[in-house]
Structure formats: structure tokens, C-alpha cells
Structure 1
Amino acid sequence: MNERQDQLPEVPPWEPRRGFFAVDMKGKVGVVTASQFGSFFLRPPGGGTEWERTADQLRPPNEDELKRARMLSTPVEAP
């Protein structure tokens, strides 16, 4: 096999970003609202009390968590 084919491209590590969903070590999903001095502030999808975690306490949401978070944060219009 060719040496170029053996090498996989380097994937940068995941990093929480403002406006994106993240999951803490307790499995709680939130949208990142801000970051300061290594801490990230999250709010539950659809609103609620904000909480704080460090980057090493967060991970990206899996597909099911992301679907649920998007559903909970989608406004519903009155009939």
C-alpha cells in the first residue's frame, strides 16, 4: 500500500463553540452561550438556568442528543 494511503488526515480536537450544543459529564445537553477563562456557560435547549463547565467536562452531542436538543429549542407557533 502507498504511504500516502496509510496516513489519515489529522482531525482537530473537538472544542465547545458559542451557539453550538454540548453535553456535560452528567449527560445534560446545553447550548454554549459564552466562555471565559477556560469555562463554558451553557443553557438548556428552549431556555432555563445557565450552568458552567470546563472544556474537559464537555463533549459533542451524539445524533440522538442533537435531535432532541433541536426539537426542544424549536419555537412552536400558536394556531
Structure 2
Amino acid sequence: PILSNIIALLLWLGFLSLSTTGFIWLLIIGFICLLLIDYGLRRADIIDNKYFKVRKYVTLIVVFSLFVAAIQI
């Protein structure tokens, strides 16, 4: 929980200080980091496999959408 809150605070600071494109790239990095945290929780059998599977697909869709947005700006 501490690491995910640190990521959220860094994203908020990025929102306040970065350009739109820079912030989108920071969001991409943030979502990937959060997915890696969930991967570690899944390997430790803390979260359910079904949850992680949905989380993985949703994160991939979001990251792809942000990537498309970032290259269009």
C-alpha cells in the first residue's frame, strides 16, 4: 500500500508540473508499475488469479490508449 500511494503522489506531482505529453508518459509508467506490484502480490498468492487476469487486460488497454494519445499530441 505504501508503494502504490507513493506512485499516486508522484503522478499528482507530475500532473502539476509536466506538460500534457510528459504527464501521459508518466501515467504509462505509473500503470505499468502498479501492474508489477499486482504481479508480485499474485505470485505471493495475496490476490486472486481472476482479479489479476482482469487487471492485466484492463491495464494493457489503458496503457495502449495512453500511448496512442501520447504519440498524437
Shorter-chain TM-score bucket reads under 0.3
Q: Which has the higher contact order (CA 8 A, sep 6+)?
A: 2
TM-score normalised by length of structure 2: 0.27
Greater helix fraction, Structure 1 or Structure 2:
2
TM-score normalised by length of structure 1: 0.26
- Larger Rg: 1 or 2? 1
Greater strand fraction, Structure 1 or Structure 2:
1
